Amino acid sequence: MPSKMALVDFGKCNPDMCESGICAAVEACPHKLLKQEVPGDIPMTNPSLCRGCGTCAQACPAKAIKIVTQ
Ligand code: SF4
Ligand code: SF4
């Protein structure tokens, strides 16, 4: 059964668009599955646990997160 997951488009992600470089998508994930090492970094997803709900994608001001079916 296919499952959905978040994927960060590295070309579109621009942490400068986020307040203090803190990824808005990281803050938005209700399951705390996105990780950002330090402000200004591109966030990393957690494909094995991500539920593909899309909350992070909606929060990203750069529209850099896509929900894909794997
Ligand atoms: S993924 Fe979106 S919300 Fe997160 S740092 Fe990049 S631009 Fe900001
Ligand atoms: S799609 Fe949902 S579960 Fe997955 S990282 Fe985004 S907010 Fe979290």
The reply to whether ligand 1 has any atom less than 6 angstroms from the CB of 6 is no
Per-residue pLDDT, 2: 79
- CATH 3.30.930.10, domain 4-69, yes or no: no
pLDDT, average across residues 60-65:
98
pLDDT, average across residues 5-33:
98
* Atom 6 of ligand 1: nearest residue by CA position: 13
Per-residue pLDDT, 70: 82
The reply to whether ligand 2 has any atom less than 6 angstroms from the CB of 29 is yes
Pick from 2-6, 24-28, 54-58: least confident: 2-6
Per-residue pLDDT, 34: 98
What sections of 14-68 are H helices per DSSP? Answer: 24-28, 55-59
Per-residue pLDDT, 4: 96
Nearest alpha carbon to residue 45 among 35, 53, 55, 32? 35
